[in-house]
Every structure is written in C-alpha cells, then in structure tokens.
Amino acid sequence: MSAPSGGGASRDGYGAALLEMVDDDRVVVLEADLGKSTKSCLFRTEKPSHTVSLGIAEQNMMLVAAGLASSGYIHFASTFAIFTERAFEQVRNGIARPNLIVHLCGSHGGIHTGTDGSSAQSIEDLAIYRTLPNMTVLHPSDDVSAKALTLALRDHGTPSYTRTARNKVARAYSEESAAELVIGKGHVLREGTDVAILACGVLLNEAKEAADILSAKGVQATVVDMHTIKPLDTALVSQLASTCGAIVTAEDHSIIGGLGGAVAECLASGTLAPLERVGVQDRFGESGDSDELLAMLGMKACDIAAAADRAISRK
Amino acid sequence: MSTRGMGLEVEELEAMAKRCRRNIVKMVHGIGAGHPGGSLSAIDMLTGLYGHRLRVDPSDDGWADRDRFIMSKGHASPGVYAILHERGFLSEDDLWTYRRLGGVCQGHVDMKWCPGVDFSAGSLGMGLSFGIGCAIAASLDGSERTAWVMLGDGELQEGQIWEGVMAAVHHEIGNLKLIVDRNGIQNDDFCETQMRMFDVAEKFAAFGWAVMEIDGHDMSSVVEAIDWADQITDGPACIVMHTVKGKGVSFMENNPKFHGASPDDDQFALAMEELQ
C-alpha cells in the first residue's frame, strides 16, 4: 500500500524500542528468521551478543526464551503473528503457566498485511492469547505508540503478546502524547456523547475518520485507542456505556474473541449498551491491497460510521 | 553456596537409588495413580546427577548460580521428588502430597510448586529448548553453571526436540548436557510399535553432538558418563542411557502397562519386598 506521509508501521516502533534498550544488559532479543520483517534486526546489528537467532523453529524459540527468562533476563521474541500460533501450546505451558517474563511480538498481523494472502493474515491471535492466564495482550496502532508500549513492557511483571502490523498508517500519536500511554488503560483521543468507538491497531485511523464522518452529520463520537486488549480497561468501557449509551468496536481481527469479544463480555457482565463489532466476519482473508481488503471486508471508516448509526438506533 | 553433588561413592549412590525406588512406588500406590515406569528407569541417573554432580543448595533453592536440572519427561515426577527428598529439598511428608490438592508434588514437575524444580513440565518436547535458554543465560552471566536436561525416548518423536538439537549445535552450547532415557516404552506401547526411532545415538551424532551410550542402571557407568559429559565444553553432549522401564520391580519391568498405572495392594506388597 502507499504509505501516508508522516505515517509509521507499528513494527517499526517495536524495532525502535528494542534499539533504545540496547544498553540494558537484562534485555535479550530472540528471532526466528524474520528479524528483518519484525525489525528485531535493528537490535541484532547493534548487540549481537544479546541476540539469539533460532532459525525457522518457533516452538524451540518460545522455550529458549522461557529458559532465559527463568534465569532473570527480559526477553523480546518475535516472528510473524501467524507463526507464533503454531507454538501456542509452548506459550501456554512454557511461558504463561510458569509466568515467565517473555514478551512475544507477532508482526504482520491482520488482513492489513495484504498481498501475502490469507496464510499470513492472523485474525485470531488476540483472541487466543487473551485466553491465557498471566498474559497481557497489546495491539498498538502506529509506530510511535508501539515504541512507547514496548518500552513500557521492559518493567512489566507478566509475559505479554504484542501484535504489530506490517504497513504504515497515519500516526495517531506524537512522542509527547505516546508518553502518556499506560498498559491497561484506554487512551481517549476524542470525546463525544452519542456513541463510543473503541478501536485498536490499524483500525484506529479508520475510527478517527469515522468520527469525522459522524460529526459532519451532527453525531458526536468518543474515540478510544484500546491498545490493551488484556487486561481490558473495563472501567472505561462501563463509563462509556453509561455516558454514550452505544458502543462500536473496530479491529483488524475476527469479530470473535478479540477486542469486540472482550468488550461484549464486559458489557454483558456490567453496564449494558448496544454493541456493534467491526472486524473480520468469521472468514479468512485473501491477497489484495490493504485498503482494498478493508473495503471488501467492511472495515473502512464508512463502515465504522454505519455501525455507529446502527448502535445508536438500538439505544 | 554448594559444591558438586554430595560426595557419595558408588555404593552409597546405589543404596540411595534403592531408597528412591521404594518412595517412587509408595507415592504412586498412595494416590492410586501416576507414572512409576519411567521414574524407575531414570532413577539411577537422577541419583548419579544429584549425588555426584549437581551444584545445588537445598537451603537456598532460588540460588541464581545453581546448576539447572530440567526434567522434560515431567510425568516421571515421582523419580524427581524421590531424589529431591534425598537431596534435602523435600521432606518425607512432602512426598505424600503427590497429586493431591495443594501439594508441592504436582502430577507433573512444576517449578512454581516444588522447591528444587527448575522447569514446569508435563507437555513433552519442551525441556531441551528450555535447557538451551538456561545454558545461554549462564554464558551471558559468565557463569560456570551447567544445564542438564533429561528426555524420554518416546519424547524424541516431538518435532520441537529436533529444532533444539539443531540449535544447540549451531550455537555451540558447551554448558548443555542431555540425557536420553532409552527405556523403549511410551504411553500406549513399545516405541518399536508406536514410532520406531532406530539408532538414537547415531541420530544425535549425525547432528553434531558428542554422544556416549551407557547402561543406565550401572552406577559406575552413570558416574563415568556424567564426568565425560562435563569435560565436553565445545558443544552439547548427549548421554543415551539404555534402561529398563520399571527397573527394580519384577512385574513392572519392560511392561507398557506400568508407564502410567499404580500397583494394586498385593502388587505393592510384592514391590516393597523386592526393593528391600
């Protein structure tokens, strides 16, 4: 896809954060033959002594990371989001269960990854990692916030999964605003009282455009970057259910189990409000340009605005 | 701090292994479930490791510079608990918590539950990779501590094992020592019927490992093999120990049924008699 001017891909933010940790000898980076793609290569070039390349062998990588973590090191291990999934049981039994501090990054997540096609488009990663006790699950929207959140993980007390994206999107953050980000707290980017749009990842940008579309019609939307899928900011979700009375979620992920699923669980257990979930409708993707795919699958700004109208009509 | 092993001679190690065998059978019989066969095949090596070699400190199980022992075939937990009792990490009463609610002796060895356990096992194929991580960490620390890993032979059927086998050689991990318990039996039946593995030692050698084959029930050979592995520092070393599943209890020996089954009361009495 063509890169918006001034935009950034969240995977670039991950690489930049690793680079910023290069003087911290507690940090070890692991990679599985995709360092050039996930951007861990930036760290490797600067500090090969603390980089372990494990070849195309994700299951082994997860347990090597766990072993290192058991000896006190802080691990950042990355591959494509889809390939972390082949090692899901290793993450479950080897990392999450003993609560070893490994920070796993799955890049190229979502259908936004584009022309590689459906085999590379993980649309279930947020859902499966969210089910694991002890795991924190993040999905930053741009390079600036991805860098800030990755740096915050260095002193985070549990293992985590962070999904990053391949392609650039317009930035939602400046260095200053990203410094305010807190793991587990949604970040309100725009306030309105008619509907709340909770978005993550590359769809945050679409959500902001949707708010503009709605505003032009006299509908005022709150827009929140829900960069942390777990632990979900349930206090904020409940508050918005009360103040706005209608909720839309937007994610480059299956509508089952990810941000939409998490918000649905929260609403069902607390303050009820109509919910519309924008995302991949229980199907696989295909090859195509990112924007073409977003349009085909009903995940563009206009689709989010239409979902907001539906949610409001259900009040 | 602690020195290597417990300074025991071969005869003392043999006596310790026999005590462990009794406790293994008692633990499994006490709860009416568990895995005696692979515990009994591994226990001579476990005794050799803890009694002769491992630098661990029962008064400080979190000692950062201890050697690591990773029991990848985590179902052989009665064997691990028995030797951790001998080494002073567990009381005798702890052993009888095996598989019981709230007990330190979980069904499969678990580092979050049991003092002296370095790895949470239970899913086969993961321990070698974890050991590689422990060994790399030791190198980064500039420490002489060593990671010892024990695998079952059936476990070699897991693909992840061979990912780790390649990685250990590629990274020339000289502080990693692997023991394969070649007892020839897995959950359902003999390995020969489930998935043949042919010459295991030859496979490791083909990947570039230093390999030694021993009789895993001959304590002198066990001690000799541990010392041999210790002297390999330019890459990973593997001891393939040929063992008998259920060793020491006549009706369990080489019997697939006792991979994961408890003896009944009559069998228990016979086992105790045989392990006098």
Tokens of B57: 């400190």
Q: How confident is the model at residue A295 (pLDDT cuts 50, 70, 90)?
A: very high
Tokens of A140: 């930053």
Give the span between the Cα atoms of B27 and B31, in whole angstroms: 7
Give the span between the Cα atoms of A310 and A44, in whole angstroms: 49
Report the chain A residue with the minimal C-alpha distance to residue B149. Answer: A67
Give the span between the Cα atoms of B233 and B249, in whole angstroms: 37
Say what the pLDDT of residue B7 is: 87
**Nearest residue to B134 (alpha-carbon basis) of A244, A20, A28, A234:** A28
Residue B122 in domain: yes
Q: Please answer yes or no on whether A66 and B133 come within 8 Å at the CB atom.
A: yes
- Max Cα–Cα distance, chain B, nearest Å: 54
Strand stretches in A88-186, DSSP E: 102-107, 136-138, 160-163
Q: Please answer yes or no on whether A69 and B112 come within 8 Å at the CB atom.
A: no
Residue B193 in domain: yes
Report the chain A residue with the minimal C-alpha distance to residue B165. Answer: A60
Q: Are B181 and B41 in contact (CB under 8 A)?
A: yes
Q: How confident is the model at residue A87 (pLDDT cuts 50, 70, 90)?
A: very high
Q: Are B177 and B145 in contact (CB under 8 A)?
A: no
**Nearest residue to B143 (alpha-carbon basis) of B248, B43, B225, B63:** B63
- For B248-274, b/e burial (b = at least 16 CB within 10 A) is bbeebeebbebbebbbeeebbeebeee
Give the span between the Cα atoms of B178 and B232, in whole angstroms: 12
| CATH number, domain containing residue B217 | 3.40.50.970
Q: What is the dihedral of CA A215, A221, A222, A228, to 10 degrees?
A: -110
Single-letter code of the amino acid located at B134: C
Chain-centroid distance, C-alpha A87: 19
Query: Who contacts B61 (Cβ-Cβ below 8 Å, separation ≥6)?
Result: B89, B115, B116
- Cα angle A214, A220, A226 (rounded to 5 degrees) comes to 90
Fold of A10-163: Rossmann fold (3.40.50)
Say what the pLDDT of residue A310 is: 98
Say what the pLDDT of residue A194 is: 98
Q: Please answer yes or no on whether B126 and A99 come within 8 Å at the CB atom.
A: no
Residue B90 in domain: yes
**Nearest residue to A113 (alpha-carbon basis) of A80, A87, A137, A144:** A80
**Nearest residue to A13 (alpha-carbon basis) of A166, A147, A183:** A147
Residues of chain B with pLDDT under 70: 1-2
Say what the pLDDT of residue A1 is: 35
Say what the pLDDT of residue A2 is: 36
User: Which residues of A make CB contacts under 8 Å with B?
Assistant: 25, 28, 49-50, 52, 54-55, 57, 59-73, 89-90, 93-94, 97-99
How close B18 gets to chain A, by Cα (Å)? 32
Would you please indicate which residues of A are annotated as catalytic (active-site) residues?
A: 58
Query: Who contacts B198 (Cβ-Cβ below 8 Å, separation ≥6)?
Result: none
Other Cβ atoms closer than 10 A to B145: 20
The three-state (H, E, C) secondary structure of B128-187, written as one string: HHHHHHHHHHHHHHCCCCCEEEEEECHHHHCHHHHHHHHHHHHCCCCCEEEEEEECCECC
Domains of chain B: total: 1
Q: How confident is the model at residue A6 (pLDDT cuts 50, 70, 90)?
A: low
- Cα angle B41, B47, B48 (rounded to 5 degrees) comes to 105
Q: What is the pLDDT of residues A140-159, one digit of tens each?
A: 999 999 999 999 999 999 99
How close A21 gets to chain B, by Cα (Å)? 17
Strand stretches in chain B, DSSP E: 68-71, 147-152, 176-182, 210-215, 237-242
Give the span between the Cα atoms of B14 and B273, in whole angstroms: 17
Say what the pLDDT of residue B2 is: 59
Say what the pLDDT of residue B5 is: 85
Give residue limits of the domains in chain A: 10-163, 187-313
Q: Give me the residue from A25, A60, A70 closest to B167, CB to CB.
A: A60
Task: Work out the mean pLDDT of chain A and round it to a whole number.
Answer: 95
- Please give the residue range of the domain that contains residue B42: 10-274
Q: What is the pLDDT of residues B202-252, one digit of tens each?
A: 999 999 999 999 999 999 999 999 999 999 999 999 999 999 999 999 999
Report the chain B residue with the minimal C-alpha distance to residue A65. Answer: B133
Q: Please answer yes or no on whether A63 and B130 come within 8 Å at the CB atom.
A: yes
Asked if pLDDT for residue A287 goes beyond 70, the answer is: yes
User: Mean pLDDT throughout A196-215?
Assistant: 98
Fold of A187-313: Rossmann fold (3.40.50)
Give the pairing type, strands B147-152 and A51-53. Answer: unpaired
Quickly list H helices, chain A: 10-20, 35-38, 41-46, 58-70, 81-84, 88-90, 125-130, 143-153, 175-178, 203-216, 234-243, 259-269, 290-296, 301-313
Mutate to test the interface with A, among B112, B136, B165, B207 (most CBs of A within 10 A): B136
Give the span between the Cα atoms of B5 and B19, in whole angstroms: 18
Say what the pLDDT of residue B3 is: 74
Contacts of A72 in chain B (CB under 8 A): 64, 137
Q: What is the dihedral of CA A45, A48, A54, A59, to 10 degrees?
A: -90
Using alpha carbons, list the distances in angstroms from residue A87 to A61, A121, B17, B174. 9, 16, 37, 26
How close B15 gets to chain A, by Cα (Å)? 33
Q: Are A100 and A70 in contact (CB under 8 A)?
A: yes
Tokens of A265: 């669980």
| Secondary structure percentages of chain A, helix, strand, coil, to 5 | 45, 20, 35
B144 exposed, middle or buried (CB, 10 Å; 0-12, 13-18, 19+)?
A: exposed
User: Mean pLDDT throughout A248-256?
Assistant: 98
How close B135 gets to chain A, by Cα (Å)? 8
